[in-house]
Structures are given as structure tokens and as C-alpha cells.
Amino acid sequence: MEYVTEPILLVVVVVTALAFDFTNGFHDTGNAMATSIATRALKPKAAVLLSASLNLVGAFLSLAVAATIAKGIVDAGVVTLPVVLAGLVGGIVWNLLTWLFGIPSSSSHALIGGVVGAVLAAVGTDGVIWSGVISKVMLPALIAPVLAIGVGALGTWMVARITKDIPEDTNSRMFRWGQIGSASLVSLAHGTNDAQKSMGIILLALIAGGAVDESSGVPFWVVASCAIAMGLGTYLGGWRVIRTLGKGLVEIDSRQGMAAETSSAAVILLSSHFGYSLSTTHVATGSILGSGVGMPGAKVRWGVAGRMFTAWLVTLPAAGIVGAACLWLDEAIGGDAGSYVVFGLLVAVSTAIWLVSRRKPVDHTNVNDEWEDASTQVAEVVATHDPAALATVGAGPAPSGTAATTHRTDDQDGRA
């Protein structure tokens, strides 16, 4: 009986890994396209289509990060299919929760946290390659945002100084074209880094399921399926996170947008070359913050940045707790049935989060509405006696009928 059910479980795990790749795509679209959409250098739908296409191409360019995930974080010899499934559930649930609240949290760290938590629950600390976690995950997580802020601030300051005597409308026209190029480069870089994380997880599952041996590389069908899944997820847009990065963090113009995106692409591509499992979210957010710091007179919403930093700090342990809990539930039920129950719970939780998000949708038609601070939104929501709406405070446009919704421009949907 085990011979019959094991291949089915392997298929479930692979499908779940592709589902994570899909959530990674829509969660991280804003990393590349938020500033271009906010400055209207690109129409929203055109931006996500361009990003999806380049993510697809980028996934085929490098496999260094896939090797890091598959063989550099946990001991592949102790990993089983239930462990991989539990880790994926931890990553997906955290991705969906942070997307619901419009928080640009790290999909990479959610995945790694989920897998490490599941391995710790399964075999203890001996199953984790701590040197790999520290050198390939923790150190880049600390260094990358700081580096991105510095590079973004310096680049923005230089651009602002060079163009200070040029009329604003001329700057906007010139740098919008530059934004399109730099945003495209970030999308390509994202594909070279993030799509490989799911490739590495699927390779782990194939090794655990006995389909390939531990010395195997990533099969081509895995590369292709992960590239497609991420491309599809990117095309959906992830509008809630795009809105936070484009409108909530910094009041941004085309010069800042190009400087931020160029900084992000440089840091991400460098990390992919060395096989670091870098969070593109950390880099993109740091670059956008840097563009606010480097632009004289720019407004940076440090309260929004603080909420992001808090989410970053708890991503690894939160996803790890979910991964560990799922593995304990799996083992408590026993057999393949436990894994199927865990998968069913993932479907139920994902559906519930999606239904909550529909109460206050964010899409290409309202992603550029004027941003309103969360404190003001809370007061207005409470005044409407609709506690359920609090779930989306700060993630989308202001409640209907408030001042913020009256500030929409004629080109709000991206028409210049």
C-alpha cells in the first residue's frame, strides 16, 4: 500500500511547492513594479505583464540559489515528504497573511523558516545546517537592506543633484523611460533568485521521495514549471503589496523610482551570482527607503517602515512555528493521511484569507489612490461600526466616502 500512496504524496508536495512559487510571484511583484506604477511610468496591467515575462526568463538563467535551498540549509538525508510539505505550508500561510495586510515581507525567509521549523520538529537541531543558515540567510538578511538603503540613498542624491536645475516635467518624462528599464532589470533579477527557491524545495522532495539521488541537479521540468508558476503569480499583481511599496512608504517621483530599482537590481543580481538566498523584498524596500532618504524634502513614512521591519523580524520564527505545528499534526494522525489533512487545512486557510481580502479589494483600478495613514483609517473604520474592515487597514485604499477616496486623478488607472 505504501508503494501506491507514496507517489501520490510526492505529487501533492510538488503541487504545494508550485503553489508557494505562485504566492511568491504575486507577493513580490511590487519589488520591481511598485514605483513604476506609482509614478505612472507604466500602466498597472502592462507593468505586471512585463514583470511576469521577465520573471519567467530569469528563472532559466541560474541555479545557484536552488542548490543553496536544496542542500545548504537542512540535511537532505533526514528530510521526508511530510517535512517538506509542512515547511511549505508555513511559508504559504505567512505569505498570504502578510499579503492580506499589505506588508512586503520576505517570501524567501517564510519558506526557509517553514522548512527549518519542520526539520527541527522532526529530528531536532542536528537536521539543520546552521552554518548555511547563518552565512546564506541570516547575514544577507542583515546586510542586504542596509546596503540597499545606502546604495539607493547615494544614487538618488546623485541624480537629484545632477537634475536639480531641470524642470520637473522634463525630469518626469526622461526618468519614466529609465524606470521601465530598471524595473525590467529587477524583474529579471527576481526570476534568477526567487523562482529557484521552489526549485530547490521540489528537488528536496524528489530526493526525499526517492525519485532522484542526493547528487542530482534540478531537472528541466522542475525549472520550467517553477518559472511558469512564478510568472502566473506575478501577472496577478499582488496589488495590496504594490500599493504599500508604491504609495505607503515614500512619496516617490520618477528619479527616485529609477534610482531605487537600479540599486535593487544590482544587489539582487550580485547575490544570485554568489548563491545567496537573498530576500528581494528586503532589498527593494531598502532601496525605496534609500530613495526617500537621499531625495531632499522627500517624505518617508517611518511608521509604515517600522511595521515592515517588525514583520521581517518575526517571519522566520512565525513560519517555523507553523511548519513545526503542521508536522506534529501530521505525525499525530499518522501515515499519509496526516499529510493529506495538512494539505486540506492549507486549502481551507488559504480560502478563508482570500475571502477576507474580498471585503476590501485592491486591484489595478485603485492601487494608486491616495495613501491614508493607518491611525486615521482605524478611526474612520471604527466610526462606521464595521470591525471586520480592520483586517485590511493600511493594506488598501481608505474606506469609501472618506477624504482619501476623493483625491483620485484622471489617470489613476495608469493612463498618463
Residue 195's alpha-carbon distances to 55, 82, 134, 167, in angstroms, are 8, 22, 21, 41
Residue 352 lies in a domain: yes
pLDDT for res 63 = 63
pLDDT for res 235 = 86
CB 183 within 8 A of CB 254: no
CB 378 within 8 A of CB 84: no
CB 278 within 8 A of CB 193: yes
Contacts of 159 (CB under 8 A, 6+ apart): 175, 255, 256, 258, 259
Which helix or strand (DSSP H or E) is residue 383 part of? Answer: helix 374-383
pLDDT for res 349 = 96
Among residues 36, 255, 302, 254, which one has the least CA distance to residue 155?
Answer: 255
Residue 91 lies in a domain: yes
Residue 413 lies in a domain: no
Q: What is the largest distance, in Å, between two alpha-carbon atoms of the chain?
A: 76
CA–CA dist 363, 102 (Å, integer)? 12
Q: What is the pLDDT of residues 228-256, one digit of tens each?
A: 998 898 888 688 998 888 888 888 888 88
CA–CA dist 276, 268 (Å, integer)? 9
Q: What is the pLDDT of residues 331-379, one digit of tens each?
A: 999 888 999 999 999 999 999 999 999 999 998 888 888 887 654 444 4
Phi/psi for 41 (5° steps) reads -65, -30
Domain that holds residue 36: 2-406
Residue 292 lies in a domain: yes
Coil/strand/helix, residue 330 = helix
> CB count, 10 Å around CB of 136?
23
Contacts of 17 (CB under 8 A, 6+ apart): 84, 88, 198, 201, 202, 205, 226
Q: Residues for the chain: how many in total?
A: 416
CB 179 within 8 A of CB 258: yes
At residue 323's C-alpha, the angle toward residues 65 and 19, to 5°, is 60
| β partners of residue 250 | 300
C-alpha cell at 108: 524567501
CB 181 within 8 A of CB 50: no
Residues in the chain where the model's pLDDT stays below 50: 1-5, 375-384, 390, 392, 395-396, 398-416
pLDDT for res 278 = 66
Cut 0.85: pTM above it: no
Residue 293 lies in a domain: yes
Residue 106 lies in a domain: yes
For 194-247, where are the alpha helices, taking DSSP H only? Answer: 195-208, 220-236, 239-243
Q: Which amino acid is it at 225?
A: S
C-alpha cell at 30: 511590487
Residue 357 lies in a domain: yes
CA–CA dist 184, 33 (Å, integer)? 8
CA–CA dist 44, 33 (Å, integer)? 8
Domain count, the chain: 1
Q: Which amino acid is it at 102?
A: G
At residue 108's C-alpha, the angle toward residues 274 and 52, to 5°, is 90
The torsion region of residue 391 among left (phi > 0), alpha (psi -120 to 50) and beta comes to alpha
Residue 412 lies in a domain: no
